[in-house]
């Protein structure tokens, strides 16, 4: 359950929180400020989840990522559990549009304060800046450029990395499935061979 106005959100430095996350460390302060402005309250002030609440379940479609301000979150996938805390980001693949379905279940281990970064906010920023610079360069005769080209490349590289990881996991699951199928068939084949080699009973 999300608590928007029922629990107070303590004062914190949003910019410092973003810069503490590896995904945003190399982004310019101007880009982060623009992200908070476009993303609105959830990107600037954040949301709070109660202890024990499910932030999102595995398989659910999503289009945002969450940056942890305080508290801890458990990411559960099968028998694997990973605990993340302040400065960590979850749901990055969905926030960057790599894959729509959540790959794990996220559960609040404590009361958790997160910042929400949406795919639509990132898309809006890059699109707006492209149009702005395109028009300005056309008027001034300058060469075309994008003010946030650096950040765009950072997110594109991260998206490619996540896509490659997803493809690798898919291949591993397919290989394990084939091995499991073969192991199930093997005893039956051996059993048939054994029967074929048995001598005929004497009358």
List average pLDDT for each run of 10 residues in the chain, which is 203 residues long. Answer: 47 91 94 96 96 97 97 95 97 95 97 97 83 48 62 93 84 73 60 53 55
Instruction: Give pLDDT, residue 170.
Output: 78
Instruction: Give pLDDT, residue 50.
Output: 96
Encoding tokens for residue 16?
């410092």
Q: What is the pTM of this model?
A: 0.73
Instruction: Give pLDDT, residue 197.
Output: 52
Instruction: Give pLDDT, residue 25.
Output: 93
Task: Give me the DSSP letters along the chain.
Answer: -EESSSS------HHHHHHHSTTTTTS-HHHHHHHHHHH-HHHHT-EEE-TT-EEE-TT-B--EEEEEEES-EEEEETTEEEEE-TT-EE-HHHHTTS-SB-SSEEEESS-EEEEEEEHHHHHHHHHHHHHHHHHHHHHHTPPP--TTHHHHHHHHHHHHHHHHHHHHHHHHHHHHHHHHHHHHHHHHHHHHHHHHHSPPPP-
Instruction: Give pLDDT, residue 143.
Output: 40
């Amino acid at each position: 359950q999300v608590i928007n106005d029922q629990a107070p959100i303590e004062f914190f430095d949003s910019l410092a929180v973003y810069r503490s996350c590896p995904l945003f460390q190399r982004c310019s302060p101007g880009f982060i400020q623009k992200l908070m402005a476009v993303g609105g309250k959830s990107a600037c002030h954040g949301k709070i989840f109660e202890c024990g609440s499910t932030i999102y379940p595995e398989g659910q479609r999503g289009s945002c990522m969450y940056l942890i301000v305080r508290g801890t979150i458990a990411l559960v996938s099968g028998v694997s559990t990973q605990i993340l805390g302040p400065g960590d980001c979850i749901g990055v693949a969905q926030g960057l549009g790599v894959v729509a379905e959540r790959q794990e279940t996220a559960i609040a281990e404590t009361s958790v304060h997160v910042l929400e970064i949406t795919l639509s906010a990132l898309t809006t920023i890059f699109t707006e800046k492209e149009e702005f610079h395109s028009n300005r360069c056309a008027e001034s005769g300058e060469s075309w450029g994008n003010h946030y080209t650096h950040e765009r490349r950072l997110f594109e590289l991260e998206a490619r990395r996540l896509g490659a990881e997803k493809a690798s996991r898919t291949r591993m699951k397919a290989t394990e499935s084939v091995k499991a199928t073969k192991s199930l068939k093997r005893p039956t084949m051996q059993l048939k061979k054994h029967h074929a080699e048995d001598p005929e009973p004497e009358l």
